[in-house]
Amino acid sequence: MDRTQTAPAFLQEFFSKHLFVPLHGWAFVGALLGTLLVAGLLFFLLSALPPLARRRLMKTLAFVAGLFYAVEFFWPEKGNPLTGYLIPLGTFLRVMGCFAIGLGLISLCTVHGKAVGRRSEGWINSAAFFAAFFAIVVFGFWQQYGKQPVHPGAYTFAGGMFHILFIGMYNSLEPTMFSILAFFITSAAYRAFRVKSAEASLMLGAAFIVMLGQVPVGMILTSWIPPDSGFAFFRLEKLANWILTGVSSAAFRGILFGTVIGNLALSLRTWLSLEKGAYFDKPL
């Protein structure tokens, strides 16, 4: 299956020797500083370009970058001259994806930092964010890189604190928030499901069948119908399954087609830079 091994892609050998290699020690630091320098230089050059030229350049780059996966999809059978870059590009995208964590962190710290600094309404919640954030970061790194427990299964102070914060608090608080839905859904269903029209009656009927068919207690209600008889279809679990796999599935398929066509149009507009305001439309 590994088509990337069959024939090297355009300039792949050169890049695999000089670019796609892990670096360590000073070489890594040097490469990192060099990358920052080159990126800063590129950014400066981009800013110096006239707006029209900048826009054209960004549109061309976006089109060429988007072309990679399009070519890969339409010309994949035995690989194309770019197939060799599939895995390095995947690694690059994953690395880029990791930057989102840093970006999210900066955004969170900016928003909550302002709230704490200005003592605006609810600033105490923002302060709680910083306390929780620093606690989990400090104990997380401490337990990972600090002294390890002597006996297997035992905890160091940092390990214990991390366990309390992550397993004890975070991992319990998240499902707690999610489980509150059970109360809201019950209350909302009681208030919203009113038989005021034929459509509402139809929906309520389907909801009753699915709700009963999804749980064993519903089965008990129609258990008197023999499972191998001609009327077995009318057992609640079978009716519920038919509604889900037949009626509901057909509706979802329709929605799916709609969203996929919408996505296709949006992707094309993004790829061809037809979206207004995209790619440095405004001055940097």
Partner 1 sequence: MLEWTIRLQTIDRRIIYGLVIGLIVLALLWDFPLPQAVSPEAQSLYETIESLPKNKLVVIAADWGAATRGECAPLTAAVVTHLFRNKRPFAIIGFAAQGPELTTAIVQKQAKEFGAKYGKDWCNWGYKVSIDSTLLSLAESIRRTIPQDVEGTKLDDVPLMKRVKGIDDVGLLVEFTGSGTLEAFLRRLPRSVKIAQGCTAVVGPEQYPYIDSGQLCGLLVGMKGAAEYEHLLGIRAQGTAAMRPQSLAHLLIIVLIILGNLGMYAAAKQGRDLKRKGEAAT
- Contact footprint for partner 1 (CB under 8 A): 1-5, 86-87, 89-91, 93-94, 96-98, 100, 170-172, 174-175, 177-179, 182-183, 185-187, 189-191, 193-196, 204, 208, 211-212, 214-220, 223, 237, 241, 244-245, 248-249, 252-253, 256
Residue closer to partner 1 (CB basis): 41 or 87: 87
Closer residue to partner 1, CB minimum distance, 161 or 212: 212
Report the residue number, 50 or 152, with the smaller CB distance to partner 1.
152
Distance between CA atoms of residues 189 and 260, nearest Å: 31
- What's the CA gap between 265 and 168, in Å, rounded? 46
Identity of the residue, 52 or 182, whose beta carbon is nearer to partner 1 in the bound complex: 182
Burial code of 216-227, b = ≥16 C-beta within 10 A, e = fewer?
eebbeebeeeee
Task: Give the nearer residue to partner 1 in terms of CB position, either 115 or 158.
Answer: 158
What is the Cα 136 distance to its own chain's centre?
A: 22
Nearest residue to 143 (alpha-carbon basis) of 166, 110, 109, 117? 166
Angle between helices 123-145 and 86-118 (to 10 degrees): 130
CA distance 34 to 82: 26
Is the Cβ of residue 120 or residue 245 nearer to partner 1 in the bound state?
245
CB of 123 to partner 1, least distance (A): 27
CA dihedral of residues 48, 50, 55, 57 (deg, nearest 10)? -60
Give the shortest CB-216-to-partner 1 separation in angstroms: 4
Of 41 and 211, CB closest to partner 1: 211
Yes or no: say if 179 and 216 are a contact pair by the CB < 8 Å rule.
Answer: no
Shortest CB 135 distance to partner 1, Å? 17
**In angstroms, what is the minimal distance from the CB of 85 to partner 1?**
11
CB of 53 to partner 1, least distance (A): 31
Q: Which two tokens stand for residue 151?
A: 């006996």
Phi-psi region of 277 (alpha: psi -120 to 50; beta: other; left: phi over 0): left
Shortest Å distance, C-beta 47 to partner 1:
29
Burial class (CB within 10 angstroms; exposed 0-12, middle 13-18, buried 19+) of 139: buried
Tell me the closest approach of the beta carbon of residue 44 to partner 1, in angstroms: 29
